[in-house]
Structure 1
Amino acid sequence: MKSLGIFRRSFAPWADPNAKPFISFRNVTKRFGDFTAVDNLSLDIFTREFFALLGGSGCGKSTLLRMLAGFEQPTSGEITLDGQSLAGIPPYRRPVNMMFQSYALFPHMTVEKNIAFGLKQDGMPKTEIAERVAQMLKLVKLESFAGRKPHQLSGGQRQRVALARSLAKRPKVLLLDEPLGALDKKLREETQFELMDLQYELGLTFVVVTHDQEEAMTMSDRIAVMSQGRVIQVATPAEIYEAPNSRFVAEFIGDVNMMEGRVALENGHSVLKTEDGVSVPLPEPLAEGREVALAVRPEKLKVSRAAPPEGANLYAVRGEIWDIAYFGDMTVFHVKLPSGKIVKASSLNATRGVEDPFGYDEQIWVSFEPQAGVVLKG
């Protein structure tokens, strides 16, 4: 299999004004009684995209997936796939297939029969079924497990059987509802890359629902961050992380420090006067007196015993190490600032041993370059 690198670097149909969306949600609303699960949502997904719907419980992501699959009908709005409206089309006639979190395998059937089930329901000839099942078993590397039943498989193997069954009918779109939730951490990480490779090899469009930020960041070409039935931001993983469009997205994706204060003018330039009385140069001019926050990721913060050099264009403030979390590959310091605010700073453990490590209650300096932060106005 070829490396995904070249493909993923060049794949950006959403940036092409002439590209037509493969899946479109237009002003879609879904209500259950008085509760609005999806609220006037519009969204485009493109052919061969690995698209993630990310959000907490009850944000509407699974409802959106179920409407695309045909298990729920929109209260209002329109969903189209490949230029065709899906209104009134039952699930079994849609060119999509859904892989459920529970896998929903038939316990009394072998792996082979589980994969073949949908093909038999469609009346495919036996010889073609056998050929297709063999292809799917090879694809998910389960050729030697064809005669086993689900209870004789590991969690990762059951996940692969469910995936093979979902792909056997060759859908145009594969929908995955929390597909890796039942796997342990190490297997989940391995399977993420397997799914990426598989999606590229098959050339299909994958839409995955997940609450796991790391999972969405690893696998997807783009992420839609959802809250209360609405899409808050749609962007690539790097854009979501480095340039969140709101406080909600910044705080939902990974760890973040919020340096809050008011805009002031110093030497004709906008600065943020923080709670600790430190001036942070802002990357853009803003109205004086306005309350804003500067979102800074922990890895952008530097912890040092020595004060930054005079004249350095840095945010720098004295603090005290309050807590230390050692994760092996990195160490996270919780630093208490003079205002009482606690910030997080992470440091990569690039060497095997650390000489004279920082200790609890030690007085240190926290600093970062102003361009490392993102101004959030709302």
Structure 2
Amino acid sequence: MKSLGSIRRSFAPWSDPAAKPYIVFENVTKRFGDFTAVNDLSLSIFEREFFALLGASGCGKSTLLRMLAGFDEPTSGRILLDGQDLRGIPPYKRPVNMMFQSYALFPHMTVENNIAFGLKQEGMAKADIEKRVADMLKLVKLEQFAKRKPHQLSGGQRQRVALARSVAKRPKVLLLDEPLGALDKKLREETQFELMDLQQELGLTFVVVTHDQEEAMTMADRIAILDKGEVMQVATPTEVYEAPASRFVAGFVGNVNMFEGKVASRDAGSARISGGNGLTIKTENAGDASAGSDVVFAIRPEKIKVSSKKPADAEANVAEGEIYDIAYLGDMTVYHVRLADGQVVKASSLNAVRISEDPLSWNDRAWISFRPDAGVVLTR
């Protein structure tokens, strides 16, 4: 069996029919007055999974997190954690902890006292608190900052303190609401990997809310893409990117080119599609498209090759156009190629060598081409 892309780890309980989900949203609806934030949503999350809720503002992802934490109750439906219905159980009695984007650290307390706060509230013995705090400081690599106060720390360090405080009580589930939103780009990228390593080390179930596609793709084992309170697709990052379930998902995650067309013929998993510009598309990923149906062929920019000459013996998956724009990004170059009917196709090329053998410039005539397995047919 061929893989769609790189596999980060073999962990995949969702593919085992006998595996029991750890968290279950069962036909959950949440209304605020006349506004429906979550609409009859069902979703399963497995133990030890790093799960991301991804979507634009107002899609319902934070509402889901708040209902799981106990800050809001569903209007209808059930939320189960390890088989237990959470309805009516207050937040402080749920085996979950939530880390907010603002971190919500106590400014008058030292780092170690911030971490210890929840443990003291639970009445843990002083010696046990000291050991647990020491373990948490070591875990987030902040031992030398134990006596400092939040204002004496960088944004990344405050984020680690909030994380240490969140996991100090050893919850079964850690909920993270836009946890890296306050960090700069470079620190955010570094912290993503630290969170992944920490989740693996602790063996906890992480549920993260984010609007950042790259963040979700980097950290999560699976991603639920939400829109208007409904789930559009639940899949691994690779599946979401390489095999989107709909036009919405294809357009929401990453960059994509979409060609409208009609299925001229079907043969097993392959299809021949007649598109605009006289473009004929031959694809090996026809999905459930039937002959004669109107479809969209979606393909990512990095799967399209741009050249000054027509590829030899090309009778499909090739079209001529004009270089409309070029963006040199260092590691790659992005071309915008305008086809005969005005559609602009985006193609990206990795700058693997310092000198191009086929230089292209603005207003040059150029050919785009792609392999039969490079894109996917979408019927919805």
Question: How high is the TM-score relative to the length of structure 2?
Answer: 0.95
Partner of 1:206: 206
Partner of 2:64: 64
What do the CA deviations read for 1:346-368 (whole angstroms, capped 9, x no partner)? 00011233356211111010001
What do the CA deviations read for 1:200-258 (whole angstroms, capped 9, x no partner)? 00100000000000000010000000000011100000000000000000000000000
Deviation at 1:313, TM superposition (A): 5.9
2:102 is aligned with 1:99: no
Match of 1:303 among 301, 306, 326: 306
The aligned runs of 1:37-48 (5 Å cut-off) are 37-48=37-48
* Residue pair 1:313, 1:370 contacting (<8 A) in 2 also: no
2:84 is aligned with 1:84: yes
- Partner of 1:293: helix, strand, or coil? strand
In the alignment, residue 69 of structure 2 is paired with which amino acid?
A
The aligned runs of 1:314-333 (5 Å cut-off) are 314-333=316-335
* Residue pair 1:314, 1:369 contacting (<8 A) in 2 also: no
* Residue pair 1:80, 1:86 contacting (<8 A) in 2 also: yes
Partner of 1:3: none
What is the alpha-carbon root mean square deviation over aligned residues? Answer: 1.8
Partner of 2:11: 11
- Partner of 2:377: helix, strand, or coil? strand
The aligned runs of 1:183-194 (5 Å cut-off) are 183-194=183-194
- Partner of 2:278: helix, strand, or coil? coil
The aligned runs of 1:163-242 (5 Å cut-off) are 163-242=163-242
Distance 1:97 1:127 in 2: 23
- Partner of 2:373: helix, strand, or coil? helix
Distance 1:242 1:313 in 2: 25
Question: How high is the TM-score relative to the length of structure 1?
Answer: 0.95
- Cα 1:85–1:313 shift into 2, 3 Å: farther
In the alignment, residue 49 of structure 1 is paired with which amino acid?
E
- Partner of 2:159: helix, strand, or coil? helix
- Partner of 1:10: helix, strand, or coil? coil
Distance 1:77 1:36 in 2: 14
Partner of 2:119: 119
In the alignment, residue 280 of structure 1 is paired with which amino acid?
I
Point out where structure 1 has 5 or more consecutive residues left out of the alignment: 1-5
Deviation at 1:25, TM superposition (A): 0.5
In the alignment, residue 116 of structure 2 is paired with which amino acid?
A
* Residue pair 1:313, 1:369 contacting (<8 A) in 2 also: no
* Residue pair 1:118, 1:165 contacting (<8 A) in 2 also: yes
Point out where structure 2 has 5 or more consecutive residues left out of the alignment: 1-5
* Residue pair 2:308, 2:358 contacting (<8 A) in 1 also: no
Distance 1:267 1:307 in 2: 27
What do the CA deviations read for 1:286-331 (whole angstroms, capped 9, x no partner)? 4444211100000000001111112x46411111111111111111
Deviation at 1:369, TM superposition (A): 1.4
Partner of 1:360: 362
What do the CA deviations read for 1:131-179 (whole angstroms, capped 9, x no partner)? 1111000000000001111111101000000000000000000000000
Would you say how many aligned residue pairs link Structure 1 and Structure 2?
372
Match of 1:294 among 294, 297, 301: 297
The aligned runs of 1:20-35 (5 Å cut-off) are 20-35=20-35
Instruction: Provide the identity percentage.
Output: 71
In the alignment, residue 147 of structure 1 is paired with which amino acid?
K
Distance 2:267 2:44 in 1: 45
Distance 2:324 2:106 in 1: 53
Distance 1:61 1:8 in 2: 25
Partner of 1:148: 148
Partner of 1:139: 139
In the alignment, residue 322 of structure 1 is paired with which amino acid?
Y
* Residue pair 1:293, 1:375 contacting (<8 A) in 2 also: yes
- Partner of 1:194: helix, strand, or coil? helix
